């Protein structure tokens, strides 16, 4: 039954919800990716051409943060519009399957959360990246040629950037492509929790 509830929820959710780019709009979506790409390019131009690009980097990052905040707000507003519909649908479906008591809702929520946790994957690559970077920088520091010192500094800064960026990028990838099922199941568990509290209040009033 649990797997059936999850599949039914997924299908209705997919049918009801719009895509993220549809919610925030094409112009904002394109702007986000253009600024993200420009931010990455300007970072490397700091070392290759001029340190004036550092100012451009700060401006681009601030713009990126503002757009990201706006996107988050739009997605939250959109979710609030769908949340009640999803809850009503699941409440009707579970009632049709004989789930009407608060204990049944509580048990279902616990099982769903356990399923979500089993499916969730998270990677911490920072220790390994830090080790590799430390070895590279140590090896380069043994070079006594003064002409190579700017190269060493560039590699050091680039390595720090890699450490900061790779791990979040990997986890963003896993959240989008690997942990999606886990997040949807947890989302369903949260809805079942709300139904549990509502049914518990009604049972207490009787």
Residue 167: its pLDDT value, please? Answer: 64
In a domain, 108, yes or no: no
In a domain, 59, yes or no: yes
Q: Which residue has the higher pLDDT, 183 or 49?
A: 183
Residue 112: its pLDDT value, please? Answer: 95
pLDDT, mean of residues 141-156: 65
18: DSSP letter = P
CB 192 within 8 A of CB 97: no
In a domain, 65, yes or no: yes
Reported as a pLDDT band with limits 50, 70 and 90, residue 105 is very high
Segment among 82-86, 120-124, 184-188 with least mean pLDDT:
120-124
pLDDT, mean of residues 100-123: 90
Reported as a pLDDT band with limits 50, 70 and 90, residue 195 is very high
% of the chain at pLDDT higher than 70? 62
pLDDT in tens, 32-77: 777 777 777 776 666 666 666 667 767 777 777 777 777 777 666 7
Distance in angstroms (rounded) separating the CA atoms of residues 182 and 202 = 30
% of the chain at pLDDT higher than 90? 22
In a domain, 42, yes or no: yes
State the pTM of this model.
Answer: 0.62
In a domain, 34, yes or no: yes
Task: Return all residues near 151 (Cβ < 8 A) that are at least 6 apart.
Answer: 140
CB 40 within 8 A of CB 161: no
In a domain, 119, yes or no: no
pLDDT score of 181 more than 60? yes
In a domain, 140, yes or no: no
Shortest CA distance to 185 belongs to which of 114, 123, 95?
A: 114
Task: Return all residues near 29 (Cβ < 8 A) that are at least 6 apart.
Answer: 20, 21
If you average pLDDT over every residue of the chain, what do you get? 77
Tokens found for residue 93: 């479906």
pLDDT score of 162 more than 70? no
Domain range spanning residue 64? 19-98
pLDDT score of 199 more than 70? yes
In a domain, 116, yes or no: no
Domain count, the chain: 1
Q: How far is CA 89 from CA 8, 57, 82, 161, in A?
A: 10, 47, 11, 46
């Amino acid at each position: 039954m649990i797997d059936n509830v999850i599949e039914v929820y997924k299908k209705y959710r997919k049918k009801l919800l719009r895509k993220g780019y549809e919610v925030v709009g094409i112009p904002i979506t394109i702007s986000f990716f253009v600024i993200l790409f420009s931010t990455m390019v300007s970072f490397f131009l700091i070392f290759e051409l001029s340190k004036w690009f550092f100012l451009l980097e700060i401006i681009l990052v601030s713009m990126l943060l503002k757009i990201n905040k706006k996107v988050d707000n739009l997605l939250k507003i959109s979710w609030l519009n769908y949340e009640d519909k999803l809850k009503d649908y699941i409440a009707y479906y579970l009632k049709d399957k004989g789930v009407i008591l608060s204990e049944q809702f509580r048990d279902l929520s616990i099982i769903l959360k356990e399923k979500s946790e089993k499916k969730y994957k998270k990677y911490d690559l920072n220790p390994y990246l830090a080790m590799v970077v430390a070895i590279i920088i140590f090896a380069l520091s043994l070079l006594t040629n003064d002409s190579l010192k700017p190269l060493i500094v560039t590699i050091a800064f680039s390595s720090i950037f890699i450490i900061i960026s790779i791990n979040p990028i990997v986890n963003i990838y896993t959240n989008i492509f690997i942990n999606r099922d886990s997040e949807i199941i947890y989302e369903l568990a949260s809805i079942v929790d709300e139904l549990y509290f509502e049914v518990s209040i009604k049972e207490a009033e009787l």
